[in-house]
Amino acid sequence: MIQVFKSEYLSNLAKKQHSYVLKLEPKRGTIYDRKLRPLALNVAAFSLYASPRTMTEDQKIRAVKVLSGALNLKKSFLDGRMNRDKNFIWIARKLSPKKAEKIRALKLKGLDFIKETKRYYPGQSLGAHFIGFAGIDNYGLEGLELKYNDYLRGQFGMAQILRDAKQRDLLIQESFLQPKNGYDLVLTIDETIQYFAEKALDKAFVKHDAKAACIIIMNPKTGEILALANRPTYDLSNIKSNSLDSRRNRAVSDMFEPGSVFKIVTASAALQEGAVVESDEIFCENGEYRVANHILHDHHSHGMLTFREVIEQSSNIGTVKVAQKLTGETVNHYARLFQFGKKTGVDLPGEVPGVLKPVSRWSGTSIGAVPIGHEVGVTALQLVCAVSAVANDGIYMRPFIVQYIRDQNGDIVEGFLPHPITESINRETASRVRDILVGVVDNGTGRRARIKNVKVAGKTGTAQKIVDGVYSHSKFYATFIGFAPADDPKLAMVVFFDEPHPSHYGGTVSAPVFREVAENVLKYLGASRGN
């Protein structure tokens, strides 16, 4: 009966009892900054499993009682696990070595551990919005962890394990497939520059009681993103306690009306098209100017200003008068040359293209709005790319955040080089606009961005928010874009605040953050070159 009639049944039962197939998890690749400092890596963890078929009722009852307290798990959950007719069932995944050791000391029958790894983020919230995070199965869910998941994750292996009559693991059989570990990412981000940026942004975010904030630092000559941060932020080591809003990468996914920082487009168009020269005088109507059925205002009343002073003092009326000479088609054309209204192509998920209406959809008042940054939707990343083009002799570079991908031996699998997209303006025009932007910082609205012994170029922006379809008189966006040193730019930056209080001007809220960060970064870059 045993050897003949029940032979096949009993053989299969024995195989199930005395061997099982185990998936072998690969090590997820590490994410490094540009100096190979780890921003995300895998550390040892231990996952607890049970073999309910091998356990007596008393052993199951004891396990449920002890584990509910040790792991803070509901008894109903553990009862459900223990009463399943299986040889293998997960109880808790990715426990720390310390917690695993405590549970081992309890000597519970029918339970054991499998060594795995879990994601660890040394900086906790540092760089959270571009790093993103991976889930319990080491699968990327947001940020670079998601974007480059196929490279980082690796490939699972497989092992067939033999067990003795007491269900103790004995050895690995011949059917063994080694897991293939994931590739590493090496970023353009510099952890030290990231720290400078986040520290200054944090301080100003609290000081001005803002709803949100963003900072991006870029090498204008290459498009390499050196730092990127948003507020509010979140802790990568404790995802469940953070809201969806705090996890949004506002730098690429939120668009807003830029206000006067957009005047770099109008100024570039006017100079390159020969509509004005820097010394041309423009009457700024003493602060009030009608455009179609709308009255345009300046923050301060101005009479005659040169074109240079129009940009330095951020006169809306002077800028619009120049735009009227250019026509809407020309302003729109240069806005598209600066890549507004389209994605930058950055290697981060969630980027939006912004809004730049075709001239055919302009209203009678659009010529008084678009040239000064209204009726336009932009992202913070688009702004820093645009001002970088001015810094880079008119050449617009594609922004990127991953330098190269390498294997576990350190060999490069794929590299990413600086990539010019287009010539937004010619070299001569870029030089003239740079000179005007230096004047904005030296003599105009951007004085609070000045750095001792460093020539800084920049532009302030303050824009009313649209609330319920109308412009608010109490809610604003405050922005500063700039680069330094102006004569040989090492960095370009955008600093943006949403609803700062009580001050709401780009020159008073955002410019000081630029100054603090740029000063620290330039010192750091100088020291790095010295070493």
Contact between 335 and 353 under an 8 Å Cβ cutoff? The reply is no
Among this protein's residues, is 51 annotated catalytic? no
Burial class (CB in 10 A: 0-12, 13-18, 19+), 388: buried
Query: For the chain, first and last CA: distance in Å?
Result: 82
Cβ proximity of 18 and 53 under 8 Å: no
Residue 456 CB-density burial (10 A; 0-12 exposed, 13-18 middle, 19+ buried) = buried
CA dist 190 and 530 (Å) reads 17
**Phi/psi of residue 283, nearest 5 degrees:** -85, 120
As a whole number of Å, the CA-based R_g of the chain is: 30
CA pair distance 28, 470, nearest whole angstrom: 49
Q: How many residues does the chain have?
A: 531
Active-site choice (47, 51, 260, 424): 260
Other beta carbons less than 10 A from residue 37's beta carbon: 14
Contact 326, 372 (CB under 8 A): no
Which residues, including other chains, have CB under 8 Å from residue 98's CB and lie 6 or more apart?
A: none
- Among 264, 523, 531, 228, smallest CA distance to 389 is for 264
Asked if 454 contacts 491 with a C-beta cutoff of 8 angstroms, the reply is no
CA distances from 503 to 475, 479, 507 (A): 11, 12, 10
What is the set of active-site residues? Answer: 260
